[in-house]
Structure 1
Amino acid sequence: MSTEPQATDWTAWSREAAESMVRNNAQWPREYGLDAAPACTWDLESATLTFEGSLGPVVATACLVGTTSDSEGSFVWSWANEAIPRQHGQALEVVHEFGREHQLALLTTARISGGRPEAMECLGIAARLQRAVGTFIDQQGDVTLYFTLLHLRVEPVQRERLH
């Protein structure tokens, strides 16, 4: 009987993270009254995304995991992008540390060659390690932004007072 620890199958672990992300992304929009493609605005400084839903505005505390550029053909982690506010990189420290601890280059390399498939894998892993409620992706011209949603809340609807 061997007492050596089992080696982790990182491919299976990553696949499980992606499957969990798909399940979560099917659930949270329904719970918050959001249709298939909710209108969304994001604010990187406040680390929030605001969705317009049938229950009112839904505000997510978010982490910008990283970005891809179609023209550059790469994914860049937020912790490695000086243009991204620092709080996003700080929120990703759990992912970066996990990568260092397990010697996973995907999680410790600032710029990864590729595009959406690589970004989706990184997003799923970040969501799993951050215990995110869900994820959200937005396209801005050549750049695609990949967010984890860490907390969601419905904002009370402001009603006009009658005098």
Structure 2
Amino acid sequence: MDDRSKHDHSGWEGVVRAARERARSRQALMVERFGLSGDVQYQWSMDDAQITWSRSGKVFLTGRLTLVGSVSVPQQSWLWSWANESLPPAVLGDIEQVRQFGEESGYPVLPWPGFDYHPELVAEARMVAASVLDAEGLWAESTDDLQLHFLVHDLTLTTA
């Protein structure tokens, strides 16, 4: 979908509002329910699309990751994970559904492979992706040159 004139702006604003509210409440619930603050450590892997949280070296929570997309800081650009051929298939999850939702609904920012980096637009895209894929939470990792934006799914408490 390359025709940027077909964007349903008022519809997009409504979808973003609902997705933002959903993401805020789910994120707060995830942090509170699983105690994801304070002395918590985590490890993640794109190869197997997994994240684990631990305290004092003991894993207490696991989850599945879906990479939504990445921001190249030097290039100031966003790239959807579904458009990045270098990624392990496991970390893509069902991200293709987000692209399809954008095509079907007239929200071209979702099926464009990438766009110029605007923090608010990236935030909107992440939250809409979280809503479309029914994520339990959002996760991000940053280096000097790269931001990775993930969704968190299937959280499971581990037994010791």
Given the two structures, how large is their TM-score scaled by the length of structure 2?
0.84
Q: State the AA in 2 paired with 1:74.
A: S
Shift in CA distance, 90/122, structure 1 to aligned 2, threshold 3 Å: same
* 5+ long unaligned stretches in structure 1: 1-6, 158-163
Q: State the AA in 1 paired with 2:142.
A: Q
Give the corresponding residue for 2:43. Answer: 41
Give the corresponding residue for 1:136. Answer: 139
Asked whether the 8 Å contact 2:78–2:115 carries over to 1, the reply is yes
Secondary structure of the residue aligned to 2:130 is helix
- Count residues with an aligned counterpart: 151
Q: Distance in 1 between matches of 2:92 and 2:62?
A: 20
Q: 2:30 aligns with which of 17, 28, 48?
A: 28
Q: Find out whether 1:14 has 2:16 as its counterpart.
A: yes
CA RMSD, 1 decimal: 2.1
Shift in CA distance, 64/8, structure 1 to aligned 2, threshold 3 Å: same
Q: State the AA in 2 paired with 1:14.
A: V
Asked whether the 8 Å contact 2:49–2:91 carries over to 1, the reply is yes
* 5+ long unaligned stretches in structure 2: 1-8
Shift in CA distance, 37/66, structure 1 to aligned 2, threshold 3 Å: farther
Give the corresponding residue for 2:62. Answer: 59
Cα deviation, residue 118, structure 1: 2.2
Q: 2:83 aligns with which of 80, 84, 92?
A: 80
Larger radius of gyration: 1
1:104-132 Cα distance to aligned partner (Å, 9 max, x none): 21100111111432221111011101111
Q: Distance in 2 between matches of 1:17 and 1:115?
A: 18
Q: Distance in 2 between matches of 1:100 and 1:13?
A: 14
Given the two structures, how large is their TM-score scaled by the length of structure 1?
0.83
Asked whether the 8 Å contact 1:79–1:90 carries over to 2, the reply is no
Percent identical pairs in the alignment equals: 25
Q: Distance in 2 between matches of 1:87 and 1:107?
A: 20
Q: Distance in 2 between matches of 1:73 and 1:28?
A: 30
